[in-house]
Structures are given as structure tokens and as C-alpha cells.
Amino acid sequence: MAGEKVFALDIGTRTVVGIVAVGEEEGLKIKASDYLEHRERAMLDGQIHDVELVARAVKTVKECLERKTGEPLKEVAVAAAGRVLKTLRCRQEEDYGQVVELDRERVLGLELQAVQAAQRQLAEEKKDDDLNYHCVGYSVVKYELDGYRIGNLLGQRGRKAAVEVLATFLPRAVVDSLFASLQRAGLEVMSLTLEPIAASAVVIPAGMRMLNIALVDIGAGTSDIALSADGTIIAYDMVPVAGDEVTEAICHHYLLDFSTAELVKRSLTLEDEVTFTDVLGVEHTVPCREIIEKIQPVVESLAEAIAEKIIALNGGAPQAVILIGGGSLTPGLPDKLAEILGLSRQRVSVRGREALKAVVGEENLSGPESVTPIGIALTAYRREGLGFAKVTVNNQQVRLFEINRSTVADALLAAGINLKKVYPRIGLALTATVNGELKIIKGTKGKPAVIKVNGEDASLDTPVKNNDEITFIEAVDGEDASGVVGDVLPPLSPLRVYINEKEVTINPVILMNNRVVDRDTPLEDGATITYELPSNLGTVMSLAGMEYVNEEDYEITVNGIPVELDAPVSDGDHIKVFPRAQNIDTEEVLPAGEEVKETGSLFSSRPRENTAGGTNSTSGGSGGVKVTVNGEEVVIDKASPIFADVIAAVDFSARPPKPGSWLVMEINGLRAEFTTPVKDGDEITIYWEER
């Protein structure tokens, strides 16, 4: 790697710093550097607000470095500020099946698989969040080899390897605006990291990470924090306050524009007094100590915000604090931070270029503000930043970790596509219990997603490489099941019988949730359905509208054989019913050959002959019992008639007008039965009551 060139940019809220360096055996040699302040406030709190203005500044620095080095610059290493930072710890283990040597590709692949797993975990946790997050860097927390913790996997031999990483994520808007500015300046990103990761790489090397140290990079818009302990970096975070708060305080107190106030702030540690002109054109000469006193409330507020975040991350004060970045030069800030954290003043230190042992060249690039850009370059040189491959998903460009194991699934995830949209949801099924047996009507399967890579059919695990084009059409969910009761029933034929020579059709009885339904009734999910094709005489008689027939009052035959009501009935059977009290053949009740006009009627509906002087009677004898039936006088020509004789003597249909109707029989206002005796002068009422 010695002699390899690295171009790094630190794009900050106030400045753009560029470095061109080459690798050496012992570290990094800086060949050229350049520095430019934004002309306007194109960035706030580490977020690019004006892509075009930032792109111009980047292009100016790039062209200056190209002139100094005499070489074109096309790829750049950058770092993002930790605005709206999310961090996740994730472990990844690989079982190789045999003892292998862990070369750089295997170790890097294992690390990036852990990062990708963290990315998928964050996507699931934030599925209801409007923000999409992009990985901007990671640190290795620990390695394991065959179940034992080890300092470094590189060059080791074993069967199983594991890594735990601390992955950091920023909203895509933050990362995309950074990439857009670089692209407008004619640059492609070759490495991306997080600013505190880059800074900690040079300020807190591995040999110092056993100590509990807080590194705070105080820029203009953000203060980024990294914490070390137990040999690793244990946390990253940020607070959205930094040097600009101090500048704005000077603006308000002395009525200055932002640029003038920034110059005043930088003079506070260099001069005894400073001269400036306010926005009204009035010139002032003010002792620096006076200005320092005026900004102390803001400095104290900044120190409190940083200290609170450190304590929250660390669970208490660290052993020491290292300050870098231009904002660390704010007068009184280290003292106030030490006071709040309860540390001695010697334990809070501002470090600059002098702390970097493995970096030479460009000695003019110094001070605490030089640490982060040098760290970005060193991180890229050591391949500790994230390299990217560019692919497009439905014409949207996304960047993936540049590693052979990147797949279509990783690309879809990076494009913000929920992987649940790859597989269709099967439509919900309908279930019903039919006579105790579970029946299921399945929903449709739907259509799976269409995935193509460069026009060829592909799947989620298809590998992707730089410049691949992915087309994705999301799955179509299946439709929920629907149906009617008949869909879960077997074929059911009606029962056809002949009652007193009249054909009667008895359909199956179907109940759904105890409610009578037919085959075309819409099926309800979870329904309990029962069906029964009547098979005994009593049920058949009831369904035929003759539920009043009983064995005591009537004689019943099936195919000429006397039976009881629980006798079985088959299709085509001939059933005959007649009153026992009459002691006559069925033909006398219903003469053979005469058409039955009411299905299931026990008696003929024809009027009886008048054989007793104009009065209806059952025979032509004289005398008899005189009764009034429904207001009309009737003579029953029988010595001891019963109620059934009355029915036989009048024009009354024994078939109910509607299924379920109830036959009402009364003598002198009292309820009667078919066998109730009838006496001369009785007033009889008979009718069907609908229930």
C-alpha cells in the first residue's frame, strides 16, 4: 500500500479542507493541502442546505490541489458529521466448515456482513419512520476465533470466526446531499466514514483504547463524540451545538454580521484587543477579555450540552477528555467542561497536529482543526472507511458496500424498499366447521415480485457488482377467500316422497351458526354449519307441514306397512295418514284418483255434501250433534263425535299456510285436542296461527 495516493475532504459547516497524501511504511505523508471557507452559510449543524454552493467550494479546493500536485483528482474520501446519528451493535458469525486462514477479504467480508445485518435491523425498527438511514461507518468492538476473544483476526487460522461491530447511521438526506455536492464537483466517493470515527483513528490509537477517553470534535455546527474503553470504541454520538453558537452570541451583542463575528471570535486568543465595524457602520475597539466575558454564558451552555451527552453515553465521567476541531479553541471551554465533569483541568486537553505520530508533511496544516481531515485520509488509506459500488434500482442510484457478497437484497434495502414487498401476502382463508369437520377455502397466492438484473431474471441472493441495473416490481398480494355455504357442502339431493299420493319434496336442512340458510348464502369465516337430510318419518311429516300428526290420533303407513314416527324414510316412499277415530280407509278420507291441491294436506279441501237439510254433515243421517264452527252451524251426524270429526265435516285445509304455522283448536274458548269430545251446542274455533 506504500505509495498509494489518497484524496480526502473534510466538508464542515464553515470550511472545506482538502488533503492529498501518499502512503508510507510508517504512516501517511501529506503532499498538499488546501483550505476554503464557505462564502455564505451553505451548511448548518453539519447538514448541507445549499448543494450548489458547497459543490463550488469543493470544486475550488479540488482544482487547487490538482494544480499543486499536477495530478487529476477523481475519487475522494469523505466523512459525515453525526447529525441525527443512530448507532447499533451487531454480531456476525461465520462457520467455514474447516480450518481456514483468515485473510483480509474474509475479515472484511465478515465485518461488512455484520454492518449489513445492523442496517436490516435498523430498517425494521424504523419501518414507521419517515426517514431512511444510511450507514456512514463502523468500528469493530471485538473479534472471536473458535469461540475465544482475540485482538485481530487477520492472519489467524480457525474454523469459526465472529465479529461484533458498532455501526453508525445517518438519515439518507444528510448522506445524499453530501454525495450530490461531490458529484456536482466531478468527484466520486471512494470511502465514507463518520467524522468522530476518522478523528479517533488518529487521536485514540488502539494502544490508548484501554483507557476510558472521550474524544470531542467541536466544529462550527456540531460537536461529535467518540468514547473508548476496554480496548475499543464503545459509543458515538453528537450534540447539534458548537462554535457557531458562540459566533451568533457575538453577532447579537455587538450587532455584527456573521462573517465579522467569526473573525472577532478567532482573534480572542491571539490579540489583546480587537477592532471591528458593526452593521450600522460604527467602528469599535474592544478588549478581548471583555468579549470573552460576554460569551461565557454561551460557552457554559455548550459545555453543559457536551458533558451531559458524555455522561449519558459513558454512564459517568470518563478518565479524560480530548478536544479537537476549531471550536475547541473557544476561550474558557476546556475549563468549564472539566468543572462540569468533575475532572482536573489537566484531564481535559486540546490536541492538534502534534498528537499525530504517523503523519508527516505540510507542517503548516496544524492546530486542532487539522485532525479530522488527516484522520479521514488515514482511514481511507487503511481501508477502514466504507467503499462503495454504484448500482441503480428502478433508475434510482444507490451505493453498496464494495464487496463480492453484495446481493440484490442489499441493493433493495439501500434503495429503501421493504423486503416484505418481495413476496406476496397469501389471501386470508375462510374456515368453517361442517358437521364437525373443518373445511377451508384458501385465498389466492398472489403474484411474486419481478426482479431483473441487467434485464435478466434474478432473485434476492443474486450477486450484484458496480454499475449493475436492477428492476424491481413489487409483489401483488393474493385476494382473501370468499364463497357461499354450498362451497363447503357435499352434493345433497332432496328427498322425494308421496304423502296420500301427493309428491312432496323435502330439501336438506342447513344451519349456519344456528340460522337456517341455503346453499347460496354467503359463507361467514369461522362459521359452524350443520346439514341434515331428513331420514325419519316424524321429521319428514313436520317439514311437510304436518307436525300435528301423532301416533295416538293417526295411523300412518309407509309403503303399506304401519309404522311409528321414528321409522326410517327413503326416497320414493309412499306415506299414507288417516285418523284412527274414523276407522276408515284412506280412500274415504281422500278418494283415490282425486288430485290433492295442497301438498301435505291430510284431508280433502272439497266441501262436504249437504245431506241434512242444508247443513254440512259427515253423513246423510238425521238428528246428530249441532255445533257452531267459526260462526257457522254444522251438524255432526255421529252419536259421540270428537274434534277430528269436526275437521272432517268442514271445508278446512289441514295444510299450514306457511311452514312453522300452529294449528289452533278451541271448544267454548278452551283449548282442544283431536280427541276432545264434542257436544251439542258447542262453539268451535279452528284456524292456523303463524309463528
Strands 27-37 and 47-48: unpaired
CA dihedral of residues 297, 301, 303, 306 (deg, nearest 10): -170
Would you state the pLDDT for residue 401? 62
- The sign of the torsion formed by the CA atoms of 398, 401, 403, 407 equals negative
- 10-residue averages of pLDDT along the chain (691 residues): 80 87 81 86 73 90 92 88 76 85 81 82 69 75 90 89 87 80 88 82 84 91 87 85 90 92 88 92 92 93 94 92 90 93 93 80 83 86 71 84 66 76 82 91 88 89 84 89 90 86 84 86 91 82 78 84 87 84 40 34 34 36 77 85 80 66 80 80 86 58
Location of each CATH 3.10.20.30 domain in the chain: 392-429+442-473, 483-602, 607-691
DSSP per position, 552-564: TTEEEEETTEE--
Q: How far is CA 575 from CA 171, 553, 585, 685, in A?
A: 85, 16, 14, 29
**DSSP state, residue 220:** S
As a whole number of angstroms, the distance between CA 112 and CA 389 comes to 13
Contact 560, 552 (CB under 8 A): no
Would you state the pLDDT for residue 623? 62
CATH says 483-602 is which class? alpha beta
3-class SS of residue 575: strand
Which amino acid appears at position 20 of this protein?
V
Would you state the pLDDT for residue 591? 33
The C-alpha cell at 306 is 457536551
pTM: 0.56
Would you state the pLDDT for residue 608? 38
Domain boundaries 10-14+43-386, corresponding CATH code: 3.30.420.40
Would you state the pLDDT for residue 387? 65
Would you state the pLDDT for residue 130? 53
For residue 46, which phi and psi values (nearest 5 degrees)?
80, -5
The C-alpha cell at 172 is 439518507
CATH says 607-691 is which class? alpha beta
Would you state the pLDDT for residue 207? 81
3-class SS of residue 339: helix
For residue 559, which phi and psi values (nearest 5 degrees)?
55, 40
Location of each CATH 3.30.420.40 domain in the chain: 10-14+43-386
Would you state the pLDDT for residue 613? 32
Query: What number of CA atoms fall less than 13 Å from residue 506's CA on the CB side?
Result: 28
3-class SS of residue 387: coil
Would you state the pLDDT for residue 654? 59
- Count the neighbouring beta carbons within 10 Å of the beta carbon of residue 295: 22
CATH superfamily of 392-429+442-473: Beta-grasp domain (3.10.20.30)
